[in-house]
């Protein structure tokens, strides 16, 4: 009996120590004065699905590989319960000439219920930083092609996380709401020789559409959620897994922000062309939903340095004009985590 109690107490101390410093733990929060960095690199393979937009571009069912993904998460413990943090990501997909920042968030997390409570409970607010880079793309022959991964909008996240630990096992869940703000932070290149409609010999250039325009995009909102499971196998080794639902709402264009050029068709016909274009893009029907399965294994190299390997597989459901839906989407990579 004494031996059994000794083993239980020892395991509890080891688990508590490892949880406190394990940056892959789903409820990790830095202690007061601690700064952490999680630097990741992933390699992704995609096979595009068969939406109307991709069929028009003859890109449905295409393979995209290699896609390089780089991430950097940073944070600092202001107190044991309050931390400031940022999360950034860059995607490089040379197979379709698309690259750019796919994630940008900076905010605060406050721990309402701490380690002395039956559960851990965090609330957080973050600024959505997609507007750091304008949305860029090209319009040609009725088709739009994205050049980067930004929608060009600012926004705000509000969210909460809950976690419960039993011995060396932790189960957690999160939910968050994103509100973006419409603006004209975008650059759309226009093919001047593109006809305004099928079978009509009048081109975009003839009606005074400039070679590059910006448009006024409407605000959007999204609701994301997920669950995570985590096991501390020993003082140095841990594994985790989870499921996430990520919503991407349709874009909607309210107006052409750029002033149009004079045209040979006159202002009345020019306005009719613009109204027709806006009617087609009032709801771009380009949203998609992601259902992400993920696993991670981590090794604590020192008290300050941790190495992690991760893998993700994404199922998605895309709208008719989406260029982001996939038949296959898989990523694997590594992270180096440091705290000091």
pLDDT digits (tens, 9 = 90+) for 273-296: 788 878 877 788 899 999 999 999
Instruction: Tell me which H or E stretch contains 55.
Output: helix 52-56
pLDDT, averaged in runs of 10, over the chain (340 residues)? 39 44 94 98 96 89 97 98 98 96 98 93 98 94 90 97 96 98 95 83 87 94 97 97 96 90 82 80 88 98 96 96 94 97
Is residue 104 within 8 A of residue 129, CB to CB? The reply is yes
Domain of 162? 2-182+218-251+286-339
pLDDT digits (tens, 9 = 90+) for 199-218: 778 888 888 889 999 999 99
In a domain, 279, yes or no: no
In a domain, 313, yes or no: yes
Q: Which two tokens stand for residue 187?
A: 């650059």
Domain with residue 320: its CATH number is 2.40.160.40
- Enumerate residues 6+ apart whose C-beta is below 8 A from 58: none
Block residue for tokens 């079978």: 199
- Phi/psi for 31 (5° steps) reads -75, 165
User: Rounded to whole angstroms, how far apart are CA atoms 121 and 109?
Assistant: 10
User: Rounded to whole angstroms, how far apart are CA atoms 95 and 45?
Assistant: 11
Q: What is the DSSP letter of 207?
A: T
Indicate the number of domains in the chain. Answer: 1
In a domain, 264, yes or no: no
Is residue 102 within 8 A of residue 149, CB to CB? The reply is yes
């Amino acid at each position: 009996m004494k031996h059994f109690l000794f083993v239980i107490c020892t395991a509890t101390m080891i688990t508590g120590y490892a949880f406190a410093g394990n940056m892959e733990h789903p409820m990790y929060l830095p202690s007061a004065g601690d700064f952490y960095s999680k630097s990741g690199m992933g390699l992704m393979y995609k096979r595009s699905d068969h939406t109307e937009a991709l069929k028009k571009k003859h890109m449905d069912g295409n393979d995209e590989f290699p896609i390089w993904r780089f991430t950097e998460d940073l944070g600092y413990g202001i107190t044991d319960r309050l931390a400031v943090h940022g999360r950034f990501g860059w995607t490089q997909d040379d197979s379709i000439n698309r690259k750019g920042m796919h994630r940008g968030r900076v905010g605060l997390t406050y721990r309402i219920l701490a380690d002395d409570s039956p559960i851990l409970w965090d609330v957080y607010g973050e600024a959505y930083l997609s507007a750091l880079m304008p949305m860029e793309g090209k319009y040609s022959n009725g088709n739009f092609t994205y050049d980067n991964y930004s929608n060009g909008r600012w926004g705000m996240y509000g969210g909460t996380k809950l976690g419960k630990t039993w011995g060396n096992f932790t189960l957690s869940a999160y939910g968050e709401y994103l509100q973006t703000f419409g603006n004209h932070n975008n650059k759309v290149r226009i093919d001047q020789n593109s006809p305004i409609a099928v079978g009509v010999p009048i081109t975009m250039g003839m009606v005074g559409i400039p070679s590059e325009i910006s448009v006024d995009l409407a605000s959007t909102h999204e609701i994301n959620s997920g669950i995570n499971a985590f096991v501390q196998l020993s003082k140095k080794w841990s594994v985790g897994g989870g499921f996430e639902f990520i919503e991407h709402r349709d874009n909607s264009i309210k107006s052409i922000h750029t002033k149009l050029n004079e045209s040979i068709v006159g202002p009345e016909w020019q306005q009719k062309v613009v109204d027709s274009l806006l009617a087609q893009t009032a709801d771009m029907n380009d949203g998609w939903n992601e259902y992400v399965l993920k696993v991670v294994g981590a090794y604590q190299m020192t008290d300050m340095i941790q190495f992690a390997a991760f893998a993700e597989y994404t199922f998605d459901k895309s709208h008719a004009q989406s260029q982001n839906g996939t038949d296959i989407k898989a990523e694997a990579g590594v992270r180096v985590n440091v705290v000091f």
